């Protein structure tokens, strides 16, 4: 049986091999079992990583967005099998890119509509444009370029409506592709709640959980506590960087854009509260934040065999994909000492969480480096943390 000292030694080892700094916490049924921070949040100033260090969540924003959207699902604001065009008419006549063997392509009308559940499960056919060079990605880039020229600053609803003109990579619901689905959910949150995604999250999730250091916009001393983002160079040296997509600009008080897929910042302690709520049936301090059965739905695999082949790689082996989260289907295939039904997600800068309702346990680990070497760091953290449980 591992001991939590082994987890600290692992974090120290990460730093010894070139990671600037990191932190990790493990909690079970509302009690913190382990918390440690090692290395520097900023190398030049020698500022250490501490419990007050603020991290960019990048795609771990998705887990919050999907939780917020599912709260509205619980309130009867939408159904998962409803066509997206019932809320955003711009998607009524979606087209699909048909690729020819010679590299050319043409468009045809989609045979089936995009359903709201396709946005949750990343099966609607809109990628992240910055990671692709397909006709769909090029069309998405043109949309954002045109919006910036027209408006300068704009909100997520404006962008999602404009994306309705973009042809899809595939017939909705037939494949899995990481991408824009959760940004559509953020726009849906705003449309059906009458509040921006940030306002809704603040009132329905952050305030009830006491997450004072989480949000889209800088407040109080958050900016000063933000960890430095480093690029690791081939020679092992580290260079300070703005990070992919230069998201820090969207934290400024005058920003408008609030994406569903990226954009939140948080501390390890704050995010641990959020994950503990999900690990323990939606309860926190006597308050029901979201229903236990809704969490079960969230972590139910939504992918068929073909989509699982799209999704699976060595990092997420053994997992399927639910409503915005990976979910463990087979621990043997996942080379994991965890639990079937454990779920979570990862952020581009190195953030990671695993949430296990069967044990009431959640693990939160964070660093900020590109490349993040997620498979090397996260799976080791997962295995050592589970080995410490009694």
Q: What is the pLDDT of residues 240-267, one digit of tens each?
A: 998 887 889 999 999 999 999 999 999 9
The reply to whether 231 and 375 lie within a common domain is: yes
Within this chain, do residues 314 and 336 fall inside the same structural domain, yes or no? yes
pLDDT in tens, 318-353: 999 999 999 999 999 999 999 999 999 999 999 999
Residue 347 maps to which CATH number? Answer: 3.40.710.10
The pLDDT of residue 140 is: 97
Same domain membership, residue 200 and residue 189: no
On average, the pLDDT of the chain sits at: 97
Q: Are residues 226 and 361 in the same domain?
A: yes
Say what the pLDDT of residue 366 is.
98
Start-to-end CA distance of the chain, whole Å, equals: 9
* Residue 260: HSE in the Cβ half-sphere, 13 Å Cα cutoff: 28
User: What are the pLDDT digits (tens) for 32-73?
Assistant: 999 999 999 999 999 999 999 999 999 999 999 999 999 999
In terms of residue numbers, what domain contains 95? 79-193
Cα maximum dimension of the chain: 61
What is the helix (H) or strand (E) element at residue 284, kind and residue range? strand 283-284
- Co-location of 58 and 93 in the same domain: no
Instruction: Please give the model's pTM, rounded to 2 decimal places.
Output: 0.97
Same domain, 252 and 371: yes
| Residue 178 shares a structural domain with residue 235 | no
Burial 204-238, CB ≥16 within 10 A → b, else e? bbbebbebebbbbebeeebeebbbbbbebeeeeee
Query: What are the φ/ψ torsions at residue 364 (nearest 5 degrees)?
Result: -130, 125
Q: Which of 193, 223, 238 is the last residue of a domain?
A: 193
What is the tally of structural domains in the chain? Answer: 2
Q: Cis omega (within 30 of 0) on the bond before 371?
A: yes
Task: Identify whether residues 230 and 307 lie together within a single domain.
Answer: yes
Which band of pLDDT confidence, cut at 50, 70 and 90, is reported for residue 356? very high
Q: Is residue 329 within 8 Å of residue 319, measured between CB atoms?
A: yes
265 and 136 within one domain? no
Q: How far is residue 275 from each of residues 67, 126, 211, 357, measured CA to CA in Å? A: 11, 28, 11, 10
Last residue of one domain, picked from the residues 139, 161, 193: 193
Q: Are residues 277 and 219 in the same domain?
A: yes
Q: What percent of the chain has a predicted confidence (pLDDT) above 70?
A: 100
Which of residues 135, 165, 193 is at a domain's end? 193
Give CA torsion, residues 110, 111, 114, 115, to 10 deg: 180
pLDDT at position 267, please?
A: 98
Whether residue 18 is found in the same domain as residue 135: no
DSSP state of 95: E
Cα(169)–Cα(132) distance, integer angstroms: 11
Cβ neighbour number for residue 70 with a 10 Å cutoff: 21
Q: Give bridge partners of residue 284 from the DSSP assignment.
A: 287
At 196, list the tokens. 């921006």
Same domain, 96 and 242: no
Cα dihedral 270, 273, 278, 284 sign: negative
């Amino acid at each position: 049986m591992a001991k939590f000292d082994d987890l600290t030694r692992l974090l120290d080892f990460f730093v010894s091999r070139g990671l600037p700094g990191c932190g990790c916490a493990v909690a079970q049924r509302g009690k913190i079992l382990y918390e440690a921070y090692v290395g520097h949040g900023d190398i030049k100033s020698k500022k250490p990583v501490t419990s007050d260090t603020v991290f960019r969540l990048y795609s771990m924003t998705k887990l919050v967005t999907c939780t917020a959207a599912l709260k509205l699902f619980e309130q009867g604001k939408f159904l998962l099998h409803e066509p997206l065009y019932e809320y955003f008419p711009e998607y009524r006549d979606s087209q699909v890119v048909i690729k020819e063997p010679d590299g050319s392509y043409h468009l045809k009308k989609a045979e089936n509509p995009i359903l709201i559940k396709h946005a949750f499960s990343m099966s609607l056919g809109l990628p992240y444009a910055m990671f692709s060079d397909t006709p769909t990605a090029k069309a998405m880039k043109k949309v954002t370029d045109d919006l910036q020229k027209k408006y300068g600053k704009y909100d997520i609803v404006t962008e999602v409506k404009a994306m309705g003109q973009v042809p899809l990579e595939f017939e909705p619901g037939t494949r899995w592709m990481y991408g824009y689905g959760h940004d559509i959910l953020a726009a849906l949150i705003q449309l059906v709640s009458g509040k921006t995604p940030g306002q809704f999250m603040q009132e329905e999730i952050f305030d009830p959980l006491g997450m004072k250091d989480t949000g889209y916009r800088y407040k109080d001393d958050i900016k000063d506590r933000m960890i430095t983002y480093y690029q690791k160079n081939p020679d092992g040296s580290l260079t300070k960087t703005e990070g992919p997509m230069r998201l820090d600009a969207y934290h400024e008080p005058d920003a408008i854009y609030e994406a569903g897929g990226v954009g939140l910042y948080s501390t390890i302690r704050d995010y641990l509260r959020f994950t503990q709520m999900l690990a323990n049936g939606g309860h926190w301090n006597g308050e029901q934040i979201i229903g236990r059965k809704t969490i079960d739905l969230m972590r139910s695999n939504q992918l068929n065999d073909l989509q699982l082949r799209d999704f699976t790689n060595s990092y997420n082996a053994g997992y399927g994909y639910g409503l915005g989260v990976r979910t463990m289907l087979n621990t043997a295939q996942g080379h994991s000492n965890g639990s079937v039904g454990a779920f979570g997600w990862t952020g581009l800068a190195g953030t990671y969480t695993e949430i296990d309702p069967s044990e009431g346990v959640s693990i939160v680990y964070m660093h900020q480096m590109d490349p993040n070497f997620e498979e090397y760091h996260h799976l080791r953290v997962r295995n050592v943390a589970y080995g410490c449980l009694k």
